[in-house]
Amino acid sequence: MRVSLIQLDVDPAEPPAARRARTADLVRAQHAADLVVLPELWPTGAFDYPRFDAEAESPAEGPTAEAMSAAARDAGVWLHAGSVVERAADGGLFNTSLVFSPDGALAATYRKIHRFGFDRGEAVLMEAGTEPVTVAHPSAVLGLATCYDLRFPEMFRLLVDAGAGLFVVPAGWPARRAAHWSLLARARAVENQAYVLACCSAGTHADVPQAGRSVVVDPWGEVLAEAPDAAERVLTAVVDPAQVARVREEFPALKDRVL
Ligand SMILES: NC(=O)CCC(=O)C(=O)O
């Protein structure tokens, strides 16, 4: 299974429509992949709070969904299109991830459960999702998580219980805590004996330099590919979903769970 993580530069000087078109082209170029992944909130910037309300959109029919559906279809790939600011029917906002199948259909959405910011930003501007989400990709069951979720191992256990063997984690993780990002991505892989595809944004928005350092970790905790910096780049790797069962059988720590 070939995976491509697009570590996208989220430069506030680039108009959202231009970034959508550029991102769609980057997705189309990954036509040989089985799964393409984009970062968290790349249409607005994960820390660009003043833009959230004005740029909120429908996850099914908004401009990002339309552009990403077309890109997935044109490339013939499964696309985890990162997340958008979702405007819900009652007017509330969610940080919502979108997954498209190769025919361009919206296969799944996931509303971020753990909102970042403590008493400001996303934590006060957005509603919290309540449902862990898995996706039946033809090669693996994907478990969806978003950025700050990475700090909450109990959520990943729920995804394992739902059958996930490959976690997809779009993020807008700050450079200030880059060491946490790399460590937690490996920790979630090791403790759950699962792949982690962690795709962060590049560049700086709202004065928050991004960590970049997108990473693909295997179920043994080995790093298969890692971006060396926070520049825009495409990270590719080949993962073997059958490796999840092999590792879980060879070293059956998950069977010793008590809680
Ligand atoms: N967008 C986020 O969820 C940021 C998370 C973060 O900065 C952290 O966990 O540290």
**How does pLDDT run across 1-13, given as a tens digit for each residue?**
999 999 999 999 9
**Ligand 1: centre distance to CA 173 (Å):** 5
Chain-centre distance of CA 187, in angstroms?
17
Query: Residue 98: beta bridge partners?
Result: 109
Show pLDDT as tens, one digit a residue, over the chain (259 residues).
Answer: 999 999 999 999 999 999 999 999 999 999 999 999 999 999 999 999 999 999 999 999 999 999 999 999 999 999 999 999 999 999 999 999 999 999 999 999 999 999 999 999 999 999 999 999 999 999 999 999 999 999 999 999 999 999 999 999 999 999 999 999 999 999 999 999 999 999 999 999 999 999 999 999 999 999 999 999 999 999 999 999 999 999 999 999 999 999 8
Q: What is the ipTM of this complex?
A: 0.99
Comparing CA positions, the residue from 160, 62, 74, 168 lying closest to residue 112 is 168
Tally the residues of the chain: 259
**Distance from C-alpha of 115 to C-alpha of 79, rounded to nearest angstrom:** 23
**143 CA to middle of ligand 1, Å?**
19
Q: Which CATH class is domain 2-256?
A: alpha beta
Ligand 1 pocket at CB < 6 A: 40, 46, 116, 147-148, 151, 172-174, 177, 180
Per-residue pLDDT tens digits for 57-92:
999 999 999 999 999 999 999 999 999 999 999 999
Q: Which of 47, 49, 116, 120 to mutate to test the pocket of ligand 1 (most atoms within 8 A of CB)?
A: 116
d(CA 210, CA 142): 25
3-state secondary structure 26-73: HHHCCCCCCEEECCCCCCCCCCCHHHHHHHCECCCCCHHHHHHHHHHH
* Catalytic residue set: 40, 112, 147
Which SS3 state, helix, strand or coil, does residue 107 take? Answer: strand
Instruction: Kindly give the number of the ligand 1 atom that is closest to the alpha carbon of 180.
Output: 10
Between the alpha carbon of residue 234 and those of residues 5, 166, 229, the distances in Å are: 6, 19, 12
Atom 8 of ligand 1: nearest residue by CA position: 148
87 alpha carbon – ligand 1 mean position (Å): 21
Pocket-testing residue among 115, 122, 147, 152, ligand 1, by greatest number of atoms within 8 A of Cβ:
147
Distance 123 CA to ligand 1 centre (A): 11
**pTM exceeds 0.90, yes or no:** yes
- Pair type for strands 233-238 and 2-7: antiparallel
Helix (H) / strand (E) element for 15: namely none
CA atoms lying within 13 Å on the CB side of residue 157: 11
